[in-house]
Amino acid sequence: MHGAACAVGIASPQGWEWGKIAAGGSLVMAPVLIFSLAVRRYLVSGLTAGAVKG
């Protein structure tokens, strides 16, 4: 097993612990998704305002 994977506890002698990997991915993805949904309106309006020529 890879040393870093063993250090964080996602790999064991029996194999990879996919539940922990999925939980970690969800925890990382949730704030990004919430932030992107919160600023979507401002992002789209800023992009369209900047695309106007003249």
By three-state DSSP, how is residue 15 classified?
strand
Residue ranges making up the domain that contains 19: 3-50
Condensed to tens digits (0 to 9), the pLDDT of residues 1-54 reads: 556 666 667 777 778 888 888 999 999 999 999 999 999 989 888 888 887 776
Q: Which element (helix H / strand E) includes 21?
A: helix 18-50
pLDDT in the model for residue 6:
61
pLDDT in the model for residue 38:
94
Q: What domain count does the chain have?
A: 1
pLDDT in the model for residue 36:
92
- DSSP conformational letter for 12: E
Cα atoms in the Cβ-side hemisphere of radius 13 Å centred on 14: 3
